Amino acid sequence: MFAALKKIIFGDTRPIRRSVIHPALGNLLYSDDYEAWLTDPKSSPCGFGFCIAGDWSIPGPEILPPQPLIDAAINIASHPEAFVRLVQGVIDSKLKTVSPKDPDLEEIKNLRVHCVALMWPDKPNEGEIELRTSSDSNRMWYCGYIDGKPILPLEFAGLDN
């Protein structure tokens, strides 16, 4: 009980492991802004990045990425071509609803998976997929990731500043 009270008063004083190197995912670096571990899409072994949220409720001497989310990311990274094909299906479905005069048409045609955000350790097969035309683009689109599959709608998210 004293440990719980101390945590409430002083916060979680366990150190956060800032860098986790994984053979399938690459280097996961902790971001204070996102409170998550991020991989660089440019250097990722699977061609796109991951954002893996932290979970401070997991006991231990330090705070690490939650294993259920790591496992979900490994599952995606193990078959990146299959995952990209599923996302392409969402893009193709969106293209069927876009007017030929829509100024975003060409951008939508060129969208690619940029990052997969896995946010809930108790729901590791749910999250969000960020899409961009290239890793240098600052325009972001997103679709949901539910039950291990990308889902519509595919929406413009805004500019990454």
Say yes or no to pLDDT of 9 above 60.
no
d(CA 107, CA 110) in angstroms, rounded, equals 5
Predicted pLDDT of residue 136: 85
For residue 111, count CB atoms less than 10 angstroms from its CB and return exposed for 0-12, middle for 13-18, buried for 19 or more.
Answer: buried
Mean pLDDT of 45-49: 91
pLDDT band at 44 (very low <50, low <70, confident <90, very high): confident
Q: What are phi and psi of 9, to 5 degrees?
A: -75, -50
Mean pLDDT rounded to a whole number for the chain:
90
Q: What is the pLDDT of residue 11?
A: 63
pLDDT digits (tens, 9 = 90+) for 20-40: 998 889 899 999 999 999 999
